[in-house]
Structure 1
Amino acid sequence: MKRLLTAAAALLLSVVWLPSATASPGHRVGVAAYSLGDSVFDLPPGADGTKAKGELTAVVHYPLDLTGRRYPVVLISHGLWISCADRKAWQDEDWEKLDAWPCAPGTPEIPNYRGYDYLGAKLAAQGMIVISISANGSKAFMGQEQDAARAALINEHLRMWQQLSSTGRGPLAGKLPVNFKGHADLTNVGLMGHSRGGRGTLFYAADQNQKNWPRGVEVKAVVPLAPAEPYSPDENPDSPELDAYRITNIPVGGIIGSCDGAVQGRVYNYLQAHNKAPLYEWYVRGANHNFFNTQWSPSSGQVGAEDDAPADCGDRRLSEPQQRATGTAYVSAFFRRYLLNDRSGMRLLTGAVKPGPVDVRVDQGVGSRR
């Protein structure tokens, strides 16, 4: 059921809600990273026989107080963007060099997966282990084949973490500065994917693909952040092309921006037709696509970083910090609710309060007040 805040109601509901406004962060945060190599994981082959190897690389934000505790796990998957920081290639629009994987010798990679460090730190401070994975190698494929490649990467990282946490062994053993054995709860996993990563997480968590999850892994919440839209030949929410992305039994919270120059980002239209679990979509006025990832944002100085908002966007634009603070507020409240059973952010999720001066429209599906 759609729920729009009227102008009069918005004046009455101008309460600020940010994660730090309702709860102390609670945990000091550690940061670790691992990389098993740039070409070490066999991605699912394409229908035409195309084969490619991807990287197994990630940054981890985690609560430092691990002793005697188990924390839910949040996995983040970045979007589809250039892989290699070649400034001349960017000027020349040489996409072959920019999209190469691995990058040419002497050309640094763009750490797209580090663009959500701000979010990882916030979630870890609230009691979650946050793993942001690199997926630059997945661009060897396009269409649904890339979604399958991204899902395979997600699956492998979660499999390695389940083995590490349950036994202390596996490919990640000895690769991290702390011992996570017994501390990562892989039966309580949240997924957040941005842009094409959002579409990949929807594919991974879809009803028909849940049978592929590793033993001991359960996804409990999914956030598609400005996700690329799955292909559908029409506006029919029952289109069979959408079945590979349809989630009915896991809470989903989507975020889209009114000034997004890359995607429309809607998932509500087809998910609400069949959903049995809480479903939200937050339409953020003035938000573009790139500012959610610091590597893609102009202030980073990174190759290719840009403001993607179209010139004719009529809404008041959000700054980089405003947009990231807004996204963090909703993602934090959502994962706190469905991974930590903390209902303190429910009024934000349902639209009863807003994140400061930012105008957000909230659409809600079945069970969204739970």
Structure 2
Amino acid sequence: MSTVTALLLTLSPVLAQAEAEGQGVGMVAYDLGRAAFRTPAMPEPLELTAVVHYPVRRSARPAPVVLMLHGSWHSCVDEAAWPCTTSAPMPSHRGYDYLGRALADRGVIAISIAANAIEGQWNRPGGNGPAQPMQPYQARADLINKHLAMWQRLAATGDGELAGRFTDPDTGAAREVDFRGRADLTRVGTLGHSRGGKGVMWQAADRERAKIPAGVRIRAVLPVAPVYFPLVEGDVSDGLVTTAPVRVLISSCDGAVGEAGRGYVRDALAAGTRYPAAASTYTGGNHNFFNTRWSPGSGQQHAYDDAPGREENPPLPEGQCREPQSGKVVAQLDEPRQRGRALDEVIKFFTRALT
């Protein structure tokens, strides 16, 4: 048994019988095209692309599902405009493979979806002007609901848009995996990073419940270093979730959004939610290290350490960062330690909420 597996087995109750039998973790991908899905929230279509980690061994009970959504980043490996005519799309959704593997090892089907088309349209010159009105967070919510609807049909009947569309993420070779009866869409958790954090809060918001596919139930929402800003001043309804537990992960040296995500907890508690709503702060954590593809250790284009202090004159010593909120200099978490803490908390939160 690996050290990681041994650690995870101590974190929470068993999700499925299979894990006790030493089940393996499988991984497949699907890509239905860069113009596969249309939503009124965006002028051009979106991609339907994802990587899936799943428990290989079937259990007596269908597995819960966790859907993950990345944030705003470069849409293409080079600097080209979407739909990336001169390079591949940026694999930001693969930056949470470490979470997907750990969740699948605990009996969860973990689906990490791509959202490059949203930011690619929004960030292009003139893309957010009045000539092209866009609702990128509504688009993120619509994209989540579309993936959940496809999985609901696949799990129920084995057919639909995902039937026969799975491939090996590394080779692209076709893979046959029968997910009929294996995914429980009444036990769904969502995780979003950065702008994806606001995306999952928007999708699960009380006011948006009617848009969730019938029969799908969101039971837990976990924004990681999320942006927080009500789009209408004084109206927090676009991110108010009182129908499920909410856990917000915050880094004290986040050079992108700071500690703004506490607003989601404050709003839920003020609205009288009967579910747990809380935040965890990682002293010395930054914004990008939660996603391996955004972190320098990956060697991926555009990756960097966003913790404040590197740009100062003179710069802070290696291993230190400045908290933008307090101004204090603290020891910075490196990539493995920051992701290790996130992994522990993600596993504990979803296993408790989805059992």
Match of 1:113? 93
Per-residue CA shift, 1:233-274, capped at 9, x if unaligned? 87xxxx32x111101121011100001000133222222211
Distance, in Å, in 2 between the alignment partners of 1:272 and 1:226 is: 19
Contact 1:43 1:138 in 2 (8 A): no
Match of 1:43? 39
Residue correspondence of structure 1 range 263-278 to structure 2 within 5 A: 263-264=257-258, 265-266=261-262, 267-274=264-271, 275-278=273-276
Distance, in Å, in 2 between the alignment partners of 1:148 and 1:79 is: 14
Contact 2:285 2:332 in 1 (8 A): yes
- Seen in structure 2, the aligned counterparts of structure 1 residues 118 and 166 have a Cα distance that, compared at 3 Å, is same
Q: Which amino acid aligns with 2:114?
A: S
Residue 253 in 1 paired to residue 247 in 2? yes
Q: 2:153 aligns with which of 157, 163, 168?
A: 163
Root-mean-square deviation over aligned CA pairs: 1.9
Q: Secondary structure at the match of 2:199?
A: helix
Q: Secondary structure at the match of 2:241?
A: coil
Q: Secondary structure at the match of 1:75?
A: strand
Q: List alignment gaps of at least 5 residues for structure 1.
A: 1-16, 90-96, 341-370
Q: Which amino acid aligns with 2:198?
A: R
Residue 218 in 1 paired to residue 214 in 2? no
Match of 2:173? none
Q: CA deviation at 1:207?
A: 0.3
Distance, in Å, in 2 between the alignment partners of 1:232 and 1:67 is: 43
Contact 1:44 1:148 in 2 (8 A): no
TM-score, reference length from structure 1: 0.78
Match of 1:101? 82
Distance, in Å, in 2 between the alignment partners of 1:115 and 1:150 is: 18
Per-residue CA shift, 1:67-94, capped at 9, x if unaligned? 64410000000011001112xx4xxxxx
| Identity rate, percent | 46
Per-residue CA shift, 1:277-322, capped at 9, x if unaligned? 1111101111100000000000111111000000133221001000
TM-score, reference length from structure 2: 0.81
Q: CA deviation at 1:45?
A: 3.5
Match of 1:135? 115
Distance, in Å, in 2 between the alignment partners of 1:179 and 1:133 is: 20
Residue 326 in 1 paired to residue 341 in 2? yes
Q: Which moved more, 1:225-234 or 1:55-64?
A: 225-234
Q: 1:307 aligns with which of 285, 299, 305?
A: 305
Q: Secondary structure at the match of 2:76?
A: coil
Q: CA deviation at 1:276?
A: 2.0
Q: List alignment gaps of at least 5 residues for structure 2.
A: 1-5, 123-127, 167-175, 310-321, 324-328
Distance, in Å, in 2 between the alignment partners of 1:194 and 1:179 is: 30
Distance, in Å, in 2 between the alignment partners of 1:76 and 1:22 is: 21
Match of 1:59? 51
Q: Secondary structure at the match of 2:187?
A: strand
Distance, in Å, in 2 between the alignment partners of 1:65 and 1:148 is: 36
Match of 2:171? none
- Seen in structure 2, the aligned counterparts of structure 1 residues 102 and 144 have a Cα distance that, compared at 3 Å, is closer
Relative contact order (alpha carbons < 8 A, sep ≥ 6): 1 or 2 greater? 1
Match of 1:19? 8
